[in-house]
Amino acid sequence: MANANNPLRELHKFGQSFWYDSLSRDMIANGDLKRMVEDDGLRGITSNPTIFQQAIASSSLYDETIEREGRKGKNKEEIFDVIAQKDIQDACDILRPVYDASHGTDGFISLEENPHIAHDVKMSISEGYRLKELVNRPNLLVKVPATPAGIAATRELLVNGVSVNNTLMFSLDNYDAVAETYISAMEERAKRGLPLDEIASVASMFVSRIDSNIDGRIDGMLKTERDEVRRKELQVLRGKVAIANGKLCYLHYKQFFHSARFKGLEEKGARPQRVLTASTSTKDPNFPDTYYVDALIAPETVVTMAPATVPAFRDHGTPGNTMDQGVDAAMEAFRLAEKVGIDLNKTMQELQDDGVGKFIASYDDLLQAIEKKRKALVTA
């Protein structure tokens, strides 16, 4: 039975939707996913190649599918399509009541495009259409990375009826490009007389990876820095930039989506493209395990939590409208980063490149795991 004082459920009172950053067949089959919807107020799911890779490689959940499809002569890519299609469709169906009750605001499942095409506009467009057709559910979000090619593809997909989760976003400039693309796509749909209320989108701002990178640099600088004032500045900055980035991103969100320009589209049925905070698990043991989630709660936003963060927040998370607080301090953190010689734009670009690289590695490992099992099972 749902606990009325469950902090996960309480997030919704502050206008934030809780989504789960994991998906596997066992949580669909054993009822865990349905329970999270009912007890924890779960309102969506994000998946990515790493999540699928872990589920396929570390369990026998998918062996039957791999063997069956392998015996039909399907290759590893085709087998992955069958696996992803079933899991995503089943998850979409479990979350469908949330989608319906929220009139298409929540209840979404995200499925990532092949990360190998992150820098190819044409391939990203055709893959977006293909995944929409493959899953064939209204509550699917196609995950497209916020690379220049991904953003160009996103506009085309949104205009033509594909709902998108722009992922691997780090910098504020990157966010601005994503938000501008969404609004201009809605303007194009309005111009063509197409319905605006059929499209949903989120802009996924990655959080903890920023601090992991910058704090690592700070620790390196502290090893050689002898000036006490500089040392203090570096120490003050530790664990501050990721949250500052999230707060400033929300400020930009309001400038885009609380504007007269967007209000005109909203009156025609357009939904705001919500900011989604991703990568919210704490990597540094010096910080609380709900550090990032607690600090970035606001109306019209989404938070995804990984499996380790969910029980922690359920147990001792502190819901409240925190994203709007400390904006001046966030701006100060950015100024301080510049002062101590950390190039934030360069860092954020490196993080995005690294993120694409990690998803490519996971995707390749995922296909390799399927191929290894296919060979073993089909020749057994």
Residue among 303, 354, 371, 364 at smallest CA distance from 53: 364
Residue among 232, 246, 238, 234 at smallest CA distance from 348: 246
Catalytic residue among 76, 143, 240, 247: 143
Dihedral sign from CA coordinates of 102, 103, 104, 107 = positive
Residue among 57, 69, 46, 56 at smallest CA distance from 25: 56
Strands of the chain, DSSP E: 16-20, 44-46, 108-112, 140-145, 164-169, 201-206, 274-278, 301-305
Nearby residues of 154 by Cβ (< 8 Å), 6 or more positions away: 144, 164, 166, 178, 181, 182, 185
* Residue 223 one-letter amino acid: K
Length of the chain: 380
Query: Both ends of the chain: CA-CA distance in Å?
Result: 45
DSSP one-letter string for 223-286: HH---HHHHHHHHHHTTTHHHHHHHHHHHHHHHHHTSHHHHHHHTTTPPP-EEEEE--S---TT
DSSP one-letter string for 156-193: HHHHTT--EEEEEE-SHHHHHHHHHHHHHHHHHHHHTT
Respond yes or no: is residue 232 known to be catalytic.
no
- What the block records as the tokens of 270 is 């357009």
Q: Give the H or E element holding residue 77.
A: helix 76-101
Q: How many Cα atoms are found within 13 Å in the side-chain-facing hemisphere of 86?
A: 16
CA-to-CA dists, residue 53 to 110, 134, 188, 322, 359, angstroms = 16, 20, 38, 34, 10
Residue among 15, 7, 9, 12 at smallest CA distance from 38: 9
Catalytic site positions: 143
